Amino acid sequence: MSGGWAGSNRRAELPADWYTYRRPTVLQRDEYRCRNRINGKPCGRHANQVDHIGDKHDHRIEMLQALCADCHAHKSSRQGNAARWAERTTRPPERHPGLI
């Protein structure tokens, strides 16, 4: 596997009908247009990816949206960075090795 799926188990977490029912249904419902809101308006570019609006384990059709590759990458990057910073702020500060 390469690209964004490299080292990820995310594909295994998707339901069995993801590619045959859910993904095509969402793309058709959203008319293959990106639904990411930029300055209050939908992006509107051609969408070829499906994103979870809230919980990544909530696969209901109404909790999915079509996104273009750029908006999906930007959203995923924001979420990943937020998760890393949350981890960083919960760890106790380490003592400097010279002060031990």
The lowest-confidence range among 18-27, 75-84, 90-99 is 90-99
Q: Taking Cα atoms as reference points, which of 38, 22, 39 lies closest to residue 30?
A: 22
| Runs of H (alpha helix) within 1-100 | 10-13, 23-29, 69-90
> Rounded to a whole number, what is the largest CA-CA distance in the chain?
61
Which pLDDT tens digit goes with each residue over 38-75? Answer: 889 999 999 999 999 988 899 999 999 999 999 999 99
Residue scoring higher pLDDT (7 or 11)? 11
> What pairs with residue 86 in β-bridges?
none
pLDDT of residue 3: 55
Does pLDDT of 2 surpass 70?
Answer: no
d(CA 29, CA 48): 13
All structural domains of the chain, each given as residue ranges with its CATH number in brackets, are 10-79 (3.40.1800)
Decide if 7 contacts 44 (C-beta within 8 A): no
